[in-house]
Amino acid sequence: MEETRKSYHTELEELRSLVVRLGASVIEAIPRATNVLLSGDLEGADYLVQSDDEIDARAHDVEDRTFEILALQAPVAGELRQLVSILKITSDLERSADLAVNICKAARRIYGKEIDPVLRGLISKMSEQAEQLFQAAINSFAENDAATAAAIEDMDSFLDALHRQFIQAIFETHARERMDLQLAVQLAIVARFYERIGDHAVNVGERVRFALTGWKPELRAIARQRQRDATGEFPITQG
Amino acid sequence: MLAIVTFLVGAALGVSVARRRIERNATNAATQTRDTAAAPASGERGAVAATAAQPAAVDDIIVAALDALPSGVVIAESNGSIMFKNAAARAISGVRHIDVLVEETVESMVVSAVHAETQQRRFETAGAPSRAFDIRTKRLVNGRIVATVEDVTAQSRIDTVRTDFVANLSHELKTPIGGIAALADTMIGETDPQVIERLTSRIVDESYRLSRIVDDLLDLSRIEFGGADDWEPVALSDVVNEVVARMQHEAKRTGVAIETKNLAGVRVVGDRMQLVSALENLVSNAVKYSGDGKKVLVEVQATAELVSVVVIDQGIGIAAKDHQRIFERFYRVDRARSRTTGGSGLGLSIVRHVVSNHGGTVSVVSEEGRGSTFTVVLPREEFASVVPTPERGADSPNDVTVSDSATSASETDVSV
pLDDT-based confidence at A204, cuts 50/70/90? very high
Indicate the average pLDDT of chain B.
Answer: 77
pLDDT value at residue B35: 41
**Residue numbers in B near A116 (CB within 8 A):** 369
pTM score, whole prediction: 0.68
Inside any domain, residue A238? no
pLDDT of the residue at B400? 40
Which among B125, B317, B367 has the least Cβ separation from residue A28?
A: B125
Query: CA neighbours within 13 Å on the CB side: how many for B18?
Result: 16
Q: Determine contact: B122 vs chain A, CB below 8 A.
A: no
Instruction: Encode pLDDT of B284-322 as tens digits.
Output: 989 988 878 889 999 999 888 889 999 999 988 888 878
Return all residues near B150 (Cβ < 8 A) that are at least 6 apart.
B1, B70, B71, B72, B133, B134, B135, B136
Confidence of residue B43 (pLDDT cuts 50, 70, 90): very low
How would you list the strands of the sheet with B132-139, edge to edge? B82-85, B72-76, B145-151, B132-139, B118-124
Q: Which residues pair with B122 in a beta bridge?
A: B134
Can you say how many angstroms the Cα of residue A35 is from the centroid of all Cα atoms in its chain?
A: 18
Residues of B within 8 A of A38 (CB-CB) are: 319
Q: What is the ipTM for the molecules in this complex?
A: 0.76
Report if residue A144 sits inside a domain.
Answer: yes
pLDDT at B56: 60
**Closest Cα partner for B4 from B142, B188, B136?**
B136
* A127 belongs to a structural domain: yes
pLDDT score recorded for residue B54:
53
Domains of chain B as residue ranges with CATH: 2-151 (3.30.450.20), 228-414 (3.30.565.10)
The closest alpha carbon to B195, from B186, B206, B185, B204, belongs to B186
Q: How many domains does chain A have?
A: 1
d(CA A133, CA B193): 67
Calculate mean pLDDT across residues A57-70: 93
Set of chain B residues whose Cβ sits within 8 Å of the Cβ of A124: 128, 319-320, 368
CATH number where A195 lies: 1.20.58.220
**B333 contacts in chain A (CB < 8 Å):** none
- Poorest-confidence range of B34-43, B205-214, B277-286? B34-43
**pLDDT tens-digit readout, B229-288:** 678 888 888 899 988 888 888 888 888 999 988 877 888 888 888 888 889 989 998 998
Instruction: Tell how far CA A74 is from the center of its chain.
Output: 29
3-state SS string over chain B?
A: CHHHHHHHHHHHHHHHHHHHHHHHHHHHHHHHHHHCCCCCCHHHHHHHHHHHHHHHHHHHHHHHHHHHCCCEEEEECCCCCEEEECHHHHHCCCCCHHHHHHHHHHHHHHHHHHHCCEEEEEEECCCCCCCEEEEEEEECCCCCEEEEEEECHHHHHHHHHHHHHHHHHHHHHHHHHHHHHHHHHHHCCCCCHHHHHHHHHHHHHHHHHHHHHHHHHHHHHHHHHCCCCCCEEEEHHHHHHHHHHHHHHHHHHHCCEEEEECCCCCEEEECHHHHHHHHHHHHHHHHHCCCCCCEEEEEEEECCCEEEEEEEECCCCCCHHHCCCCCCCCCCCCHHHHHHHCCCCCHHHHHHHHHHHCCCEEEEEEECCCEEEEEEEEECHHHCCCCCCCCCCCCCHHHEEEECCCCCCCEEEECC
Do the chains contact at A118 and B127, CB–CB below 8 Å? no
Question: Nearest by CB to A24, which of B100, B317, B367?
Answer: B100
Could you give the residue ranges of the DSSP H alpha helices within A77-116? 77-109
For residue A201, what is the enclosing H or E element? helix A181-213
Taking the CA of residue A25 and the nearest CA in chain B, the distance in Å comes to: 7
A118 lies in a domain?
yes
Which structural domain range is residue A85 located in? 8-231
Could you tell me the CA-to-CA distances from B248 to B187, B287, B372, B400 in Å, in that order? 37, 10, 20, 32
Picking from B97, B91, B145, the residue whose alpha carbon sits closest to that of residue B118 is B145
From the list B267, B268, B269, B274, the residue with the least C-alpha distance to B225 is: B274
pLDDT higher than 80, residue A103:
yes
CA dihedral B259, B261, B266, B272 (to 10 degrees): -10
Contact A121 B369 (CB under 8 A): yes
Q: Tell me which chain B residues have a C-beta less than 8 angstroms from the C-beta of A145.
A: none
CB atoms within 10 A of CB A229: 9
Inside any domain, residue A1: no
Residues of A in contact with B337 (CB under 8 A): none
Contact A24 B101 (CB under 8 A): yes
Question: Please, is B351 exposed, middle or buried when counting C-beta atoms within 10 Å of its C-beta (0-12, 13-18, 19+)?
Answer: buried
Compute the count of residue pairs across chains A and B with CB atoms less than 8 Å apart. Answer: 65
pLDDT of residue B22: 42
> CA-nearest residue of chain A to B105?
A21
Q: With 60 as the cut, is the pLDDT of residue B381 above it?
A: yes
**Sequence-ordered list of residues with C-beta below 8 angstroms from that of A172, at least 6 positions apart, any chain:** none
Q: What number of H helices and E strands is found in chain A? A: 7, 0
Our CA-based measurement puts residue B304 at a distance from the nearest CA of chain A, in whole angstroms, of 36
Q: Tell me, yes or no, whether A3 lies in a domain.
A: no
What angle (nearest 5°) sits at the alpha carbon of residue B81, between those of residues A139 and A22? 30
Contact B126 A142 (CB under 8 A): no
Is residue A237 assigned to a domain? no
Structure-model confidence comparison of residues B398 and A195, the more confident one: A195
Q: Are B243 and B275 in contact (CB under 8 A)?
A: no
- B306-313/B295-302 β-pairing: antiparallel
Tell me the Ramachandran region of residue A77: left when phi exceeds 0, alpha when psi lies from -120 to 50, beta otherwise. left
Res B53 pLDDT > 80: no
Contact A113, A183 (CB under 8 A): yes
HSE at residue B91, side-chain half, CA atoms within 13 A, is: 13
Which chain B residues in 292-331 lie under 8 Å from chain A, judged by CB atoms? 316-317, 319-321
Q: How confident is the model at residue B396 (pLDDT cuts 50, 70, 90)?
A: very low
Report yes or no on A186 lying in a domain: yes
Q: Higher confidence at residue B43 or residue A234?
A: A234
